[in-house]
Amino acid sequence: MLSYNFEYYKPKSIKEAIEQYQTSKSQDKKPLYYGGGTEILTLGRLNYIYTDAIIDLKGIPECKEFGFQNNELVIGSTLSLSVFEENKVFPLLTNTSKEVADYSSRNSITIGGNICGQIFYREAVLPFLLSDSTVIIAGPSGVKKFLINEIFNKELRLDEGEFLVQIGTEKEYLKAPYLSVKKRKQWDTGYPLLTVAALKKDGIIRFAFSGVCPYPFRSIQMEKILNDKKLSYKDRVLASFEYLPSPILNDIEGSDGYRLFVLENTLSNILSYLGGEELE
């Protein structure tokens, strides 16, 4: 039960959604776009999130698309994570998203909600950072396309009134060699310690991280060192730590030191698995 009520709107088009957002704003209200609602409902119950008006995006056809257009896999932002568990067209996405929360929660959590949420982990963004995906953003200034690596910096940089409509990933990335490793301190479900996703393209292994810092990220500087064949795996990993963003998470799931210890081993294993040749 939430301690407050809100208005509810379910627009049938992008234009209608944006207009409703602006109408609510002009009435000095705080509207929120709504996908699966898991974060709004759980944090709202604790009064960490407040809204006067919910604008449910699940009625917008573009936000529900899933399929190939030209050379791209197009994924609507309101598709639930469980969709990718059944449909393995993008195996890295399947493997990364199937570790988020649990199965029935993944029926509610949407891909857009996970990427745009407040939770540290937001693992669903990792495959898209690695595959240089594009995002379609709609807002008062129109519908625009961006490279995700240009607009995702700690979070998806949305302006007031904007929302994520779709993500596009070129076919060549869908079948590239990959590995997604999620480490928990204990048990097979629950919040992770960290997740590392990796994808090999043109002989170079790309890396994206969740649970290391209070936001997901991909680091080109770390990738350069992690692919430096003049160094051993261990030296590469340790040298790459020089470029880790800060702060390293230090919370109930694990201390910063423990996270780095686990990260070191995880990266070495990924290098070994994906065939980053090691200097002996």
Partner 1 sequence: MNRYPTNQRFTINLEINKEWYEIDILASDILLDVLRDKIGLTGAKPGCLNGDCGACTVIVNNQPIKSCLMLAIEAIDTEILTIEGLKDTPIQRAFVEHFAFQCGYCTSGFILICQALLLNDNNPSPEKIKTWLSSNICRCTGYKEIEESIRSVINNIKNQSIK
Binding site for partner 1 (CB under 8 A): 1-2, 4-8, 27-30, 36-38, 41-42, 44-45, 50, 52, 54, 56, 58, 82, 98, 101-105, 107-108, 188-189
Q: Which is nearer to partner 1, 30 or 154 (CB)?
A: 30
Question: Distance between CA 118 and CA 193 in Å, rounded?
Answer: 17
Which string of DSSP letters, residue by residue, matches 53-92? EEEEGGG-GGGG-EEEETTEEEEETT-BTHHHHH--SSHH
Question: Distance between CA 194 and CA 209 in Å, rounded?
Answer: 7
Question: Distance between CA 21 and CA 27 in Å, rounded?
Answer: 10
H/E stretch holding 227: none
Question: Distance between CA 83 and CA 266 in Å, rounded?
Answer: 28
CB of 248 to partner 1, least distance (A): 26
Q: Which is nearer to partner 1, 54 or 167 (CB)?
A: 54
Q: Which is nearer to partner 1, 33 or 128 (CB)?
A: 33
Q: Which is nearer to partner 1, 35 or 161 (CB)?
A: 35
Sorted by sequence, the CB contacts under 8 Å of residue 11 that are 6+ apart come out as 17, 19, 20, 55, 56, 57, 59, 60
CB of 88 to partner 1, least distance (A): 14
CB of 204 to partner 1, least distance (A): 32
CB of 56 to partner 1, least distance (A): 7
CB of 224 to partner 1, least distance (A): 37
Q: Which is nearer to partner 1, 6 or 121 (CB)?
A: 6
